[in-house]
Every structure is written in structure tokens, then in C-alpha cells.
Structure 1
């Protein structure tokens, strides 16, 4: 079995390389990038073919081969030492950022508040959480201050969190965050962002103090978001020790999530997809807006919010329909809710892969502004990092060689995310379905959905943008 698993892994890796080495076309990267100069049909076709061939390969593998790929290596004992200390430090950093948001420059490329919220946290820390492991255990800005308050006052949470609410409050909070990110007229305005971030910190801390840790892991949207992505990390915990394995191994080792958490997982993908879609010329055409004369975000707030909701509902409906059809093809007749909760985590690699790909060019540019802010955090001419008169460059967008590397990196993130998603779905199906043939038949509609979404994700990356 080990030999078969190694062969399967090598074959799957080779298929992914097809998408990364296709020749004959140049492309552009996404996220306020540059206009596509040459077609990307070759790359998109190769990416879709890679995922499709992965499906075929998995159908031919013996039972257990896919799950064997997610075996882990247990290492040193797990520890959460100093997590309250680092959490308090994170709260101090957030307080500093809020202060700078109100008192610093109004330029979002200079003020550290928007730079750290949108570049360091939303792009960098979320990506690291999903790619490496759960750093949020140490970096969240609430658990440390709450523990300190408990120690000083000697009192514990007076109320019990209502279990019937589950994770639905967290999902609602994340949708509010997504609405602010995509539809607010000025989400990068330092003072505006500082007001929202400061108020949210106080509300979340109050909830933690009143309801205890259950509030943090069920109702606090940011923490739930980070905990979901942590299930994709290379590193995690297994039987009290730090363990490492193929991304997604923690999904295999955990129970199926409750319905609200399963829906949250789909919403992560739907929101990320709409984040890319609402910048395209196609979406501008749907709105009847000239992309070269965009009137501003304030003119399309309602349309953006409606699009966000419709995109997520359409994704959830399509996913559920594929599962319903698969259950009937396989003849398992598993309740749709049970199937939805079982297979929803398999979407995580797709959401994470697109998150990394979509924001790659943003981190390349805005990361330089972050370095400048770290070099002079108070705006008083300091030179803490020795950068001196450092100038931000976007020259790598003007050279065909670097543009191709950027595009291939983005395409690779999308394709690899889909390949891992198919591996996960296959392993979950075999674990919960009697017989390999039934599992493969039942997974067919979901696999087709993932192949189509691969092509859609690559199209989003290659589409000219109007914002």
C-alpha cells in the first residue's frame, strides 16, 4: 500500500506540473494587476485537464490509497506556552495600529492601520494559517486580555453560550466583514478602518468575558475563520503532539463539522470568488458600467452586496445539487445534510488556493509598503530597518519573464488546491461509503463540479479588471 501511495502521489504531482509548464501563452496576474496582453487558454485548459486526470487516476486506485496520502508524522509534544503573553502583545499592536489610524497619515499606503489589516493580516496571516498551521492560538488579540481580566477580578464568565446558536453568529459576522471589504466606499481609509477595528475588538472581548471560550470558538467570526483554515495547515496536533502531513490531513482526522460550519466553509470560497469576479470587465458589463470610467464603489454598493449574497447562495446550491445527484447515482441515499457536512471541508483547499492566487500581486506590491511602515512606524523619519530612501517598485509587472512566473505561481496555487480537494473528497467518500465503486460513482458529480471550478478560477485570474 505504501508503494502504491507513493506512485499515486508522484502521478498526481506530474499532472499538476502539466498546468505549470504549458507553453505558448503569456498572461497577467490578478488583483488590481495589469491588463492581459496575450491569451491564457493554454494554461486554463491545462489546469482543467490536470484536475480532470486526477479524478480519473483516483478512480483507478485501490481502496485506501487516497487516505494513505494524508498519513502524518508525529513529532515533539504540543504546547501552548506563552500564548496569553503573545495574545496581549497582539492586543498592544492592535491598539497602536488603531491609534495610528486616527492620528497618522490619511494615505492608506503610508498609514500602518490599513497596511497591517489588509496586507499583513487578511493576506499574509490568513495564508500562513492555512498553509503552515494554527498561529492564531498565539496571535489572536483577545484570549490574553480576557485571561488577564479573569485573573485580576477573580470572576469567570457569568453566562453560558446558547448551544442552539452554534456557529451561525460567526457566519453572520464574516458576511458583514465581507460586505465591508467588497462594498464599503472606503475600506482602506485609516480612521474609518480604525474605528471599526477598535469597536469590533471591544465587542469580541466583551463576548469572551461574558460567555467564556465558547464565544471565541463559535461566535467570533475572525477566530472561526482562522480555525477553519487551520485544518488545512501542514502542521497540527495529533494525540498531544505536533504532527505534519499533506495539507488537509486534519480534515481527514476530524469529525464532520456541524451545518453552520460547513456552510461557512462554502461561503469562504464563494466570497473569495466574488472578490475576483466583481473586478472583472464581465461583471462591469452585468452592472451596465463602463470599466474604463468606473464611477466609484459608492455607486454600486447595493449591486455588490446583492452579488455577494447571490454568488454564495448559487455556490451552496450547486454544491448541494452535486451531492444530491451523487447520492442517487451511488444509491447510498444518505441524507443531504449529512453529505453536505461530510464533504464541505473538501472545499477548503480550493478556497485557500484561490485566496493565495488572488492576492499574490497585492502582497508583492503592498508588502513593500508594509516594509516602509515597519521602517518608520511613527512617521517621524526613523530608519529602524535600515531601508533609507526605499522606493516601492512594480517593475516586475513590466517584464514578460516575471509576469509569466507570477501567473504560473497563481495558476499553480489554484490547480494544486483543486487536486488536494479531489484527494480529500475521495478519501472522505471511501471512509463513509461502503464499496469503492459506490464511492467513485457518488463522487462523480462533485468531481465534475471541482473541474469546472478550476477552469472558472483560472478564468478569474486571467480576466481583465476594471477597478
Structure 2
């Protein structure tokens, strides 16, 4: 047992040992800063890992299957005019896309005064994604690519059958490409390029709709739609045929949100993509990157290689946990089934880290967002909010809450999948060890001063 857990725990302890003293502050996008608190990094990281481990021990005492099922199955109907909300969402989404394109090509070149930059990075990637896992997924209604390509479904042969696993792997590849483009390109500073990229993505969506059908493309292939759907599974509000339903946060993650190995890969890519985006802004990455480039590796090779290698490492570490869960349980359930069932719990971790990474950024730039909405082609001088010092601790809290939710989701999933109480508890040993490693890695990144990646 101890030998099986040595890999993730050893990695976590090594991470704590080499980092010295951390400046503990909330994460944000590169260039934003927060107040700092000098804390020994080994204590900071070890405390976070211990909290996650202790939460597993506490959850292990809850072995009443009916009690766990009642918590995850609790629902309250929220009547809502779905057609009216869908129409309003489509109108807002298409209008925002039009503003993005027009302001991107004809608006100010100052990034924080350009409505395209502010709408995409502040309103959409920070604000809307946070709203998706904190409240519910409104992207299917807002998605301008879905709305603008719908007429193409009238000239195609309808929905085409597509292997679900291959579609999920294609989404994973697309998502990793999007993460790479976001990190290495000047999209956050070049409104003309951003507008052209948005039009290019619309063209890609049109080709996808013509190739596989509208519902298939946005239901199985499109990485942005799949990403929002994944984050929406963390939220307390879900769409139903009758309107909306209120549930316990992250309760849906105990259901079959993921059905294939490709879906597992996509979930891991969501977690790793957010981690990678924060990692490349840390001083430690800058040191490593300069050493690697000085050794003769071009930056154009370094960044995609790090993205792929990190994804493979996270993916293999998760599958190691799934295989070990089958042995420690023990159970006749195969490792692939366990991997598929436990994978959604990682989405709670990804949501917590996204909140830690973007909350300060979103709040500090909210005045620029308001200005861009009120005067998209000629907004006034951009201002930043001066945030209270205590808000810097929200990032760390978000990471911990995300991991605690993940532990509980994995606990509920284990009791739903495995018949024996001891089986269910033992199946979580390796996964908990991996989550401790993920926790310590995320907290270390959140604790680092944010900067710009070198050579970009």
C-alpha cells in the first residue's frame, strides 16, 4: 500500500522541499498582483495536502449509502421560461460577437480600452466560466458559434453518427491547441488578431457542422461547448425539460458525466490546461525555460512540448490511480470503468483552481468591462479596482474547497459503483494520494508571483 502511494506523495514532498518561502497570495492572470504573506512553502503546501487527506478520513466515516444518495439526489425545481431565456441568450451572444469583431478591427489598440479584449478575457473566459461552475451553464444559449451556424444544419443531411470516444479525443486535442494558442500568442494584447481568431473559429465551426452535423459538432466535438458542459456539471443549477433544477453543488459529478476514455482525457486536459496556464507565469518556470533554451531548445518547441508532456504526466498519474483502485478495493470492476466513474471528481479541482487563478483579475478589471459595454468603440481610460488585502486569501481557499468537493464526489461515486463499504473506501486510497499531489501543485502555483512567460 505505502509503496503504491510513494509516487504522488514523494512528488508532493519534493515540490515542498525545493521551493523555499512562498509569497502566498491569490492567483490571477499574468501581470496582476496581490498582497503577500511570507509563509514557509513546505508548511503552506503540507497544510493544504493534509487538509485534503484529513477530509478523506472524515468522509470515510460516512458509510450510509442511503444518506450519501439522498445528498446527491436532492433537487428543487426552479420554474423558468426556457424559450424566453434561450432567445434572450442567443440575442446577447450574437450581439457580443458582433461587438467583438467590430471593436477588434476598429476599436482602440490599447488592450484594456478595447471591447474585444475585455469581453473575451474578462467577461467570457473569467466571468462567464466562473458563473458556469458557481451557478449554471448558460453557454448553450449564449454561444454565438452555435447560433450563427444553425442555418447550415438546414442544408446538411442531419446528424451523423460519430464514435463518442474518438469525438472526445478530438475535443481533447482541440482544447490543448486552444490552451497553447492562448499562452504563446498575443491574443490578450492584439485586438485585431483576436477578432480574426474569432472569425476563424466561426469558420472552423461551420466546417465542423457541415462535416458531422450541428448537434454532433456542438454536442460531442466542439471543445468550448464540451468545456462549459463539464464546468456546468459542478454548478448547483442544471437545466431540465421543465425548466431549471437546484441541486447540491457538484452532486451531478457522481453521475455518468464521462462515458469514455476520451472523456477521461478531456477532463484531465481541463485540469492540466488551467494548471499549465498558471505554471508558465511562475518564476520557477522562467528559470527552467531559460536554461532549456540556453541548452539549444527553441521556445517554439519548448512550450508545446511542456504542454504535451505535462498532459501525459497528469493523464498517466490519474490512470495509475484507477489501476491501483482496482487492486486496493479489490473488485472485479475493470480499471477503465473506475477511471470513467471517478474522472468527473477532477472537475471540482479544475473549477477551484480556475477561481483562484481568475477571481482577482476579473474583479480588478470590472470597471474596464463596464466601460467597454457602455461605449464599445470609444471607452474612457481603463481603471482597475483596488481590492482589499483579505481577498488575496480567496485563491487558496478556492483551491482547497475544490479539492474537498472532489474528495466527497469520489466518495459518493465509490459507494454508488462498488457494493462493499470497505471496497468503496479502499478504492479511494490512490485517488486521494493523487489529489493531494494535485492540491500541493495548485497551491504552489497560486502562491507564486504572477509574471509573463519568457521568450513570448
Please indicate the TM-score interval, normalised by the length of the shorter structure: 0.7 to 0.9
Aligned to 1:354: 353
SS of match in other structure, 1:39:
strand
Q: Check 1:207–1:157 CA distance in 2 against 1; reply closer, same or farther (3 A cut).
A: farther
State yes or no: 1:121 paired with 2:124: yes
State yes or no: 1:130 paired with 2:133: yes
CA distance in 1, matches of 2:40, 2:126: 25
State yes or no: 1:233 paired with 2:235: yes
CA distance in 2, matches of 1:428, 1:78: 30
1:88, 1:142 within 8 Å by CA — same for their partners in 2? no
Aligned to 1:49: 50
Instruction: Trace 1:17-416 onto structure 2 (pairs within 5 A).
Output: 27-31=24-28, 32-34=31-33, 36=36, 38-39=38-39, 41=41, 43-64=44-65, 65-77=67-79, 80-82=82-84, 83-84=86-87, 86-147=89-150, 155=155, 157=157, 160-163=160-163, 165-208=166-209, 211-237=213-239, 240-254=242-256, 256-288=258-290, 300-379=299-378, 392-393=383-384, 395-396=386-387, 402-403=388-389, 405-416=390-401
Q: Check 1:392–1:187 CA distance in 2 against 1; reply closer, same or farther (3 A cut).
A: closer
CA distance in 1, matches of 2:239, 2:115: 34
For 2:433, which of 430, 448, 463 is the aligned residue? Answer: 448
CA distance in 1, matches of 2:97, 2:40: 41
CA distance in 1, matches of 2:352, 2:192: 32
TM-score (norm 1): 0.83
Q: Residue deviations 1:81-114, cap 9 Å, x none? A: 0424532441232022112111111211111111
TM-score (norm 2): 0.85
2:72, 2:248 within 8 Å by CA — same for their partners in 1? yes
2:25, 2:395 within 8 Å by CA — same for their partners in 1? no
1:80, 1:137 within 8 Å by CA — same for their partners in 2? no
Structure 2: give runs of 5+ residues left out of the alignment. Answer: 1-21
SS of match in other structure, 2:428:
helix
1:84, 1:143 within 8 Å by CA — same for their partners in 2? no
CA distance in 2, matches of 1:455, 1:71: 31
User: Per-residue deviation at 1:43?
Assistant: 4.8
Aligned residue-pair number:
421
User: Per-residue deviation at 1:74?
Assistant: 2.5
Deviates more, 1:83-92 or 1:227-236: 83-92
User: Per-residue deviation at 1:180?
Assistant: 0.7
Structure 1: give runs of 5+ residues left out of the alignment. Answer: 1-24, 382-388, 397-401
CA distance in 2, matches of 1:166, 1:27: 40
Deviates more, 1:67-76 or 1:157-166: 157-166
User: Per-residue deviation at 1:339?
Assistant: 1.5
User: Per-residue deviation at 1:442?
Assistant: 1.4
SS of match in other structure, 1:162:
coil
Q: Check 1:301–1:183 CA distance in 2 against 1; reply closer, same or farther (3 A cut).
A: farther
CA distance in 2, matches of 1:323, 1:310: 20
CA distance in 2, matches of 1:390, 1:242: 40
Q: Check 1:418–1:66 CA distance in 2 against 1; reply closer, same or farther (3 A cut).
A: farther
Deviates more, 1:453-462 or 1:315-324: 453-462
User: Per-residue deviation at 1:347?
Assistant: 0.3
User: Per-residue deviation at 1:149?
Assistant: 5.9
